Structure 1
Amino acid sequence: MGNETDTDPLQQVVVDKDEVNRERLADAIEGIIGVDNDSGEPVPLSDYHELGNESKFVVRLLARRAALALEFIEESELGVSSSELADRMDPSDSTIQNYGGLDFVDNNEDHGGYFIPGYAVESAINHIENVIESE
């Protein structure tokens, strides 16, 4: 038998669940939130302050995903707790927990709290683009 990976039709459906479209991610958060080149922490920019709290939550998590892709942070630092988010935003912990119910957000202690899995980044970007278009 030959090399099955060359002819196996199932190879067409193999994906890397952590792969992120870096260009699309950069375009989505540019001008809204940046990433500190020392700490990897999100840095709100001028357009950030125009967003509602749910969108601020999402772009902060997208910025963490960008920091991971840039290797500024480790995967264990990807997530952020509701209390950390509440300290940097106006809403209470319980409101943050409601935002954590978005389809593209996960909450896992191994990652440090709320985060957007690599496979869900496109959905989060679509969410932000739809919010910005509707404002």
Structure 2
Amino acid sequence: MDFLTELEYEFSELNQPKPPQGSRVVTGKMEVAIDKAYLGKDFICGLSSLGLIAVPTSKILRILSTNLPIRTEITLLELLAVQKQPVLIEYPESDQENCWLLNVSDDWLRVATKQGIAWLAAQSIELVKFSPVDN
């Protein structure tokens, strides 16, 4: 009887989604290891050495992993619109400065830069870092 129970358990495990596992994301600018990765409609996110990050799929050259991460139906802009913690945005011209998300309006991001308030097109995002406030 125990054999049947174990066999039934094994078959039920096959139908369960696999837990998120480590992936390596390669873009034109970087290669980063991401644990507990999730694949949104237009981004991948997870934990890395940089903290919790999201990378738009338009910037990804390849994902090195045995399986694709667990999928979710949320878009990057939807994720950014509901954030309650500071979000650092990296875009091609931002090598020397930080750009902090203020809010999302349609396909545009309102951000704070050293020069003042600016608007970024969503497709210009290279990397998003979700970070707690340092006091």
| TM over 0.5, shorter chain | no
Higher-RCO chain (CA-CA 8 Å, sequence separation at least 6): 1
Please, what TM-score do these two structures have when normalized by structure 2? 0.29
Would you tell me which structure has more helix in proportion to its own residues? Answer: 1
Would you tell me which structure has more strand in proportion to its own residues? Answer: 2
